[in-house]
Amino acid sequence: MSSPTNLFATVPKRSSRASAAPFLPMSRAEMDKLGWDQCDVIVVTGDAYIDHPSFGMALIGRVLEAQGFRVGIISQPDWHSADPFRALGKPRLFFGITAGNMDSMINRYTADRKIRSEDAYTANGEPNKRPDRTVTVYAQRAREAYSDVPIIIGSIEASLRRIAHYDYWSDKVRRSVLPDSKADLLLFGNAERAIVDLAHRLNAGENIKDIRDLRGTGFMVPAGWLPGDDWSVHNSTRVDVPGKVEAHPDPYAMAPEDKSGCATEAQAKEAEVVKPIRIMTREERQALAKEKHDKTVVRLPAYDVVKDDPVMYAHTSRVFHLESNPGNARALVQAHGERDVWLNPPPLPLQMDEMDGVFDLSYARAPHPSYGKANIPAWEMIRFSVNIMRGCFGGCTFCSITEHEGRIIQSRSEPSILREIEHIRDKTKGFTGTISDLGGPTANMYRLQCKDKKIEESCRRLSCVYPSICVNLGTDHSKLISVYRKARAIPGIKKVLISSGLRYDLAVRSPEYVKELVTHHVGGLLKIAPEHTEENTLTKMMKPGIGAYDEFKRMFDKFSLEAGKKQYLIPYFIAAHPGTTDEDMLNLALWLKKNNFQLDQVQTFTPTPMAMATTMYHTRKNPLHKVTEDSEVVETARSGKIRRIHKAFLRYQDPENWPLLREALASMGRGDLIGNTEKHLIPAPGGSIDDVTPSLRDGRRGIGRADKFAQPQKRNVPRGATSTPFVAPESKVRPSILSTIKTKAKPAAAAKGARPGRK
């Protein structure tokens, strides 16, 4: 596989390249002002153009600009004709097609498949500014506009649809986005390396049809195509055996001997070939094995097979995820009719200096002037925040980060982060001194990595922290603590908040970090995501037990008290996740009531393309283990009513949910939880929430609706009340997270007076 030595190794000297454009042009008038007669690359995006590294079109555009290419932006074009795709003229090298920062279907539809009223990535939140399955539609229109221009598709939408995948919105398995979009090349994951190399090779006159060796790319090829004669094909069943296992023949069975396949002695001598024995060193054997591994492609079951066979679909999902580590992943191929979709191994992660180079480019750090004073919700959310890393090794089955960014953490350097904070302070309008977030996909994975590079490159675990934290994972938070301290010491910075979701099972490994966080970086509320309380569901999510939450909460409360602050945790939960039963949701509701949480906004599981939880939803099989016809069946809430019931349990305090919950509790044989005292979950007909939750009397709601959860409060039963205190159902004792962490055993202390090394 080909990739540049360094992302910026081919950047021309500053004196020999044009200065950065104030904004990448969105019109011919802007091109004329810059003195351009033609764009080298035109990026077509489904988002409003915001020139900031948190937005994909700006990041890719500025990276290419730094390489000396002229990049234009077509933002949210009218897709009903090809004319808007001709707005900037014909690109010299290629069209780059992206749906934007979100998958277009998730962006437009709720978990209940209802159209959203607002699009956060559009000016003034206006909906319906992009088509469903944006990448496919834009690619087709760009092809209509200029049929001879290469079409390159990317973004998270393309990444999540690079092979045959279950599509929740049509409730069927769809083909890879490649044959549907008819694109020349698909870039998946963080594509800086691939797009830089691609642009230079096209600029040098290479044909797009001949570029087949870039990591992180996918393309269509004739059936059976291989890069060379020295390549071999492994069927996916050699990686993981699906289906029923055929019984081996009984060696003691009295069956007649079959000699049809035996050669005569004369034929054997005739076929005998004398080969010299070569003794190789260990290093030579390893190098030979690696070369053979790197020139092996794994053939996945064909689209025509997985669309109708749930077991083979689940098997495909499992193999796909096992081949996701850039250090050892092999190429994948999947037949789509008479042609194959070929996927090269994932892109190599960026090194720290490369990450710095990407984020230190000349971004305007603002929406394009053409939007005037329009409000763009996504911009308002992140304009005072700083992205310090990418990737996540958590491996949560419902999350798409693994399929897109990968499990290896890519971090920026401390000076680069501090420079961006200074840029926000000096250049971003409306800044009042508060940095809203220093984070990324996870708040506290900054610079955490495997202790041994060789182990990391050979690892095939789906998660570094499940079922326990790997002994080879570095969990030292000291570098992150240093960033926090230096960030808040910058003149003009009054407060640095942490808003990204916290991985609390890692945080408890570093009490110093928790103390630093709680004392200085929590603005009253801290988001964490236990997602559920029941082991049955958590094992399907690959999330730690609720004991991890309890451990972190003790530390959080302790350090908040020491700091003299009233602060609260905001836990997030998911309803209707695969593997969740009605009883699981009931137990979660009882846990919420016991802990006095009143959820205002809740999340229902949405099956995103290629996620492992989506595989469970579609196939009712568990791809976390070997998949067979007889393997574990994953119970899944698929009907609309059951999904509504599960969601209602999370908001048991909402009167609108009570009729549905009364019906559900009665059918579950738990009518004892309906009544008008504290021991009940919901009131009987004619009752009120005050009857079952006295702390809500007199309108004491705590935090408002916009803040996801009501504030936990002490129970305050009025004098003279005779209601029985709420008693949670008996449950298993939750172990401390510290007891689940695998650690290397320490040598026993030597007896007093004993010599070193002696027992």
CA distance 418 to 483: 8
Q: Which tokens go with 329?
A: 């992943």
Residue found under tokens 């798409």 = 400
The upper half-sphere exposure of residue 456, i.e. CA atoms within 13 Å in the direction of its Cβ, equals 16
Q: Tell me the backbone φ, ψ of residue 513, rounded to 5 degrees.
A: -65, -45
Residue 109, classed as helix, strand or coil, is: strand
Sign of torsion over alpha carbons 405, 408, 409, 412: negative
Q: Give the burial class of 595: count Cβ atoms within 10 A of its Cβ; 0-12 exposed, 13-18 middle, 19 or more buried.
A: middle
532: how many CB neighbours lie within 10 A of its CB?
25
Candidates 440, 434, 428; CA nearest to 383 is 428
Q: Give the burial class of 157: count Cβ atoms within 10 A of its Cβ; 0-12 exposed, 13-18 middle, 19 or more buried.
A: buried
Give yes or no for a contact between 25 and 323, defined as CB atoms under 8 angstroms apart.
Answer: no
Residue found under tokens 């092809």 = 143
Helix axes 511-520, 546-562, angle to 10 degrees: 60
Residue 577, classed as helix, strand or coil, is: coil
CA distance 213 to 274: 38
Candidates 77, 42, 75; CA nearest to 61 is 42
Paired sense of beta strands 366-367 and 232-235, if any: unpaired
Give yes or no for a contact between 562 and 758, defined as CB atoms under 8 angstroms apart.
Answer: no
Q: Which tokens go with 453?
A: 């590079």
The annotated binding site is made up of 392, 396, 399
Name the CA dihedral angle for 338, 344, 346, 350, rounded to a multiple of 10 degrees: -140
Give yes or no for a contact between 77 and 140, defined as CB atoms under 8 angstroms apart.
Answer: no
Give yes or no for a contact between 651 and 657, defined as CB atoms under 8 angstroms apart.
Answer: yes
CA distance 93 to 185: 13
Containing 338, the helix (H) or strand (E) segment is none
CA distance 67 to 309: 46
731: how many CB neighbours lie within 10 A of its CB?
12
The annotated binding site for [4Fe-4S] cluster is made up of 392, 396, 399
CA distance 294 to 479: 35
Residue 51, classed as helix, strand or coil, is: strand
Q: Which tokens go with 755?
A: 């010599």
Q: Give the burial class of 562: count Cβ atoms within 10 A of its Cβ; 0-12 exposed, 13-18 middle, 19 or more buried.
A: exposed
Which residues fall within 8 angstroms of residue 541, CB to CB, at 6 or more apart? Answer: 396, 397, 398, 531, 532, 574, 577, 579, 613
Give yes or no for a contact between 182 and 202, defined as CB atoms under 8 angstroms apart.
Answer: no
Residue found under tokens 């890069």 = 227
362-388: burial string, b at 16+ Cβ within 10 Å, e else: ebbbbbbeebeeeebebbeebbbbbbb
Residue found under tokens 């309906």 = 674
Q: What is the 3-state secondary structure (H, E, C) of 653-690?
A: CCHHHHHHHHHHHHHCCCHHHECCCCCCCECCCCCCHH
